[in-house]
Amino acid sequence: MNNSISGIGTYTINVCLGIRKVKTNDFQFIEFPKFEKSLEFNFFKGSIGWGKKILSHLSYLIWKQIILPIAAIYYKADFIYSADFVSPYFGKQKKIIVFHDTLFWEFPKNYNYFWRKYFVTLIELTLKESDLILATSNYTKTKIKEIIKPVCDVETVYQCAKKLDKTGKFEPIYQNYLLHVGTFDNRKNIETLVKAFYLIRKKFSDLKLVLVGFEGSSGANILYKKIKILISDLNLEQCVFLPGYVTNEELSNLYYHASCYIFPSLDEGFGIPILEAQFSGIPVIVSNRGALKEIGGEGVLTFEALDPIDLQTKVESILTDNELRLSLIDKGTENFNRFNVENFTLSLIKALKKIQI
């Protein structure tokens, strides 16, 4: 299993938890290494310099293309399951990889040119030796077939959602606010959210906006700076908060006390924050792009992605129509329950059986 702290890392942990919980006679699963051991390794986590980044990519390459194939031989494995786009090139085992999105191909300017060139080349090279691609949504499955055009089969397997800790329900960090959670990059469409918030404030003057997420690194935080300038230009400094990374406890607090969660992204292969918000019992508004409506189901309102006035209208409808608000919360809770660990694991096993030896 890949040692990652990103959304892919969370996905990997859920795979491990699922196969431990759901018993099957179809496969024997081997974790290599145990995910608990991976989480203890902190050398490449957090903010790191160029030296560590180069070392991280080199160690990843060695791990994926040398150590993992050797381990597969040692354990006499028939399959190698990789949750992070890249499978080993060598080895006779059947290889399964997970595509969480196609953003490397659709938004190339969002990544460092040389890093993207290296990683996409690695993906496309090992893809030739893969036997099955698992997509995290039907939207992503369609994109894979249109853009990547793989020769192997592509199956949709919805991942499970993480239940945030609501013990004690905490004292609120902020009062009366809209919430967004996500890294600052162009596809997240945060500018539209800020512009809509400016319009909403004309009617709801005590409302606040909380933008949780990493500002970017290695000179890639241009959007974060643009957002701060936009906030200043609109005189919103006193009511828009950018707390950066937050702990799991703080994140749970922010979800639970928010008036509404807003996901304005222009493209998402899944959308974990939607489910986190629905679990927390708050209404959700998403853009009409990517897999957001597919994942949110009947428990979300949608708006035209680049239209701040449409977003303003949808937010104000939730703030003023309690019946609509409660309906979205109820439908959101019902939708969240679709994405449980049992359904995830059983769907995974069903997909793997299609290429069973």
What is the predicted pLDDT for the residue at 42? 65
pLDDT tens profile 44-73: 655 567 787 788 889 989 999 999 999 999
Q: What angle do CA 296, 297, 303 make, to 5 degrees?
A: 65
* Mean pLDDT, residues 228-253 taken together: 94
pTM check: above 0.85: yes
Residue 217, pLDDT score: 54
Token readout for 150 is 């793989």
Length of the chain: 357
In the chain, % of residues over pLDDT 90? 72
The model's confidence at residue 356, banded by pLDDT at 50, 70 and 90, is confident
7-160+340-353 is classed CATH 2.60.40: no
Q: Which tens digit of pLDDT belongs to each residue from 80-126?
A: 999 999 999 999 999 999 999 999 999 898 888 888 999 999 999 99
What's the pLDDT at 168? 55
Q: Grade residue 218 by pLDDT with cuts at 50, 70 and 90.
A: very low
Rounded to whole angstroms, how far apart are CA atoms 284 and 183?
18
What is the model's pLDDT at position 287? 98
Q: Same fold for the domain at 7-160+340-353 and the one at 177-336?
A: yes
pLDDT tens digit sequence for 255-281: 999 999 999 999 999 999 999 999 999
How far is the C-alpha of 345 from the C-alpha of 16, rounded, in Å?
A: 9
- Give the pLDDT of residue 169: 65
Cα–Cα distance measured from residue 249 to residue 321, given in angstroms and rounded to the nearest whole number: 30
Strands (E), the chain: 79-82, 94-99, 132-135, 153-156, 177-181, 208-212, 240-244, 260-263, 284-287, 300-303
Domain 177-336 superfamily per CATH: Glycogen Phosphorylase B; (3.40.50.2000)
Q: Any idea where the domains of the chain sit in the sequence?
A: 7-160+340-353, 177-336
Which residues contact residue 65 at a Cβ distance below 8 angstroms, ignoring those fewer than 6 apart?
88, 89, 90
pLDDT tens figures, 173-200: 999 999 999 989 889 999 999 999 999 9
In the numeric block, which tokens belong to residue 249? Answer: 């406890």
By the 8 A CB rule, do 69 and 90 touch?
yes
- What per-residue confidence (pLDDT) applies to 5? 43
Task: Write out the two tokens for 31.
Answer: 């974790």
d(Cα 39, Cα 4) in Å, to the nearest integer?
8
pLDDT at position 357 is: 56
Is pLDDT of 40 > 80?
no
Instruction: Please tell me the predicted confidence (pLDDT) of residue 2.
Output: 40
Query: Is 41's pLDDT higher than 90?
Result: no
Q: Report the alpha-carbon distance of residue 89 to residue 125 in Å, rounded.
A: 7
Which pLDDT belongs to residue 185? 87
User: Does 55 or 10 have the greater pLDDT score?
Assistant: 55
How confident is the model over 131-144, as pLDDT tens digits? Answer: 999 999 999 999 99
